[in-house]
Amino acid sequence: MITLRTVLRRLTLLLLVGLLLLLLGGCSESANSGVQQAVPTPQHSPAVLTGLLPSGDTAAAKQVVLGFSQLGSESTWREANTASIREAAAEAGITLLLSNAEQDQQKQFEAIRSFIRRKVDVIAVAPVVQTGWEPVLLEIRQAGIPVIIVDRSVNVEDRSLYVTFIGSDFYQEGVKAAKYVIDKLRHHPEAIRIAELQGTVGSTPSIDRGRGFRKLIEERPNLEITMSAPADFTQSGGREVMRTFLQQPREKWPRVLFSHNDDMAIGAVDAIREAGLVPGEDMIIVSVDGTRRAFEQMTAGNINAVVECNPLLGPLLMQAVAEIMAGRTLPKRMVTPEDIYTQELAAMEVENRKY
């Protein structure tokens, strides 16, 4: 016969067991909510495999879509830049929507508005020129999409319109080029005329390389920039503008060429040779970028020195995207490390060039 006492004892036991189970369940729940559980990494999310997203974040990891407005395909540098970004996106498992604006800022605006309509997770922009970006950056902000500026910079009052700017220190590139020229001609006190091939007018690299170069040259009374014109960072542009420089009377011909990029310098080499001069000897040539083609020209003796400007920004860009998607902050400025190479080093380095 079951007494009341027995019933009460069994009910109490049941209650205690239920309470215990409830507490254990609650702990594992709070453990889940308090600390990210290391869930098994799904094989399809390379972002985690490449360390872009710590495994603990895989619960938050989703197929990230990056809209990238590339300014054009004007040079060897640009082609390497685009390839680096495509490869890094594929490796990171990030879906890349890439639009080539063919050096037309309006086309960049159109591409960005299409990214907004498609509600991408992050927008990256390589701005063809520095000015005119506030309106479209405000549209992106109103859409609540984070922006990364890549390669070249934008002139905006409100720097909160973008998360970070990933690119080179172009002013220092100009300074390095000038230091090379000053050192190369240190035993030449006579008046030295310098020609300058500018890049795209209004672009950060052209503005800042020119400023950095002039800062040092202006301190040397015997060095003067006597010819300067834009050639849009293209090889054909460099050849055509150098041809016009050399249509001047011979006594006005420059002794030095400072070219804002390798492609224009390589085009200028053809024009210099057509005029009966020996490039690299009759005309000292210093350029910027550090492409394999420029190293080959240095090895051949046609170009004297090249200041490196690294186009391989893909991995850094994808890391920045991953940080933003993980809710972490980034420095406003991320500068790519660079060097300068001369003819003496070119033969050893040429095979190492990745672009």
- The site for ligand GZL (CB under 6 A) is made up of 74-75, 77-78, 151-152, 167-168, 205, 233, 261, 263, 288-289, 309
Residue 309: both structure tokens together: 């400007």
Question: Nearer Cβ to ligand GZL, position 162 or 233?
Answer: 233
Question: Nearer Cβ to ligand GZL, position 45 or 204?
Answer: 204
What's the closest the beta carbon of residue 103 comes to ligand GZL, in angstroms?
9
Question: Nearer Cβ to ligand GZL, position 279 or 311?
Answer: 311
What's the closest the beta carbon of residue 353 comes to ligand GZL, in angstroms?
14
Question: Nearer Cβ to ligand GZL, position 96 or 288?
Answer: 288
Rounded alpha-carbon distances, angstroms, from residue 270 to 90, 176, 267, 280, 313: 38, 25, 6, 12, 31
Question: Nearer Cβ to ligand GZL, position 72 or 279?
Answer: 72
Which of 126, 149, 139, 140 has the alpha carbon at shortest distance from 233? 126
Residue 262: both structure tokens together: 């390798």
What's the closest the beta carbon of residue 225 comes to ligand GZL, in angstroms?
19
3-state per-residue secondary structure call for 171-224: HHHHHHHHHHHHHHCCCCCCCEEEEEEECCCCCHHHHHHHHHHHHHHCCCCCEE
Are 98 and 68 spatial neighbours (Cβ–Cβ below 8 Å)?
A: yes
What's the closest the beta carbon of residue 144 comes to ligand GZL, in angstroms?
29
What's the closest the beta carbon of residue 206 comes to ligand GZL, in angstroms?
8
Question: Nearer Cβ to ligand GZL, position 52 or 265?
Answer: 265
Residue nearest to ligand GZL (CB): 77
**What is the CA 251 to chain-centroid distance, rounded?**
41
Residue 227: both structure tokens together: 């010819």
Question: Nearer Cβ to ligand GZL, position 48 or 313?
Answer: 313
What's the closest the beta carbon of residue 155 comes to ligand GZL, in angstroms?
15
Q: State in Å, rounded, how far the first CA of the chain is from the last one.
A: 91
Which stretches of the chain are DSSP H helices? Answer: 4-34, 46-49, 76-92, 105-117, 134-142, 170-184, 204-217, 235-245, 262-274, 292-299, 314-325, 343-349
Q: What does the chain come to in residues? A: 355
For tokens 């020609």, what's the residue? 195
Bridge partners (DSSP) of residue 119 are: none
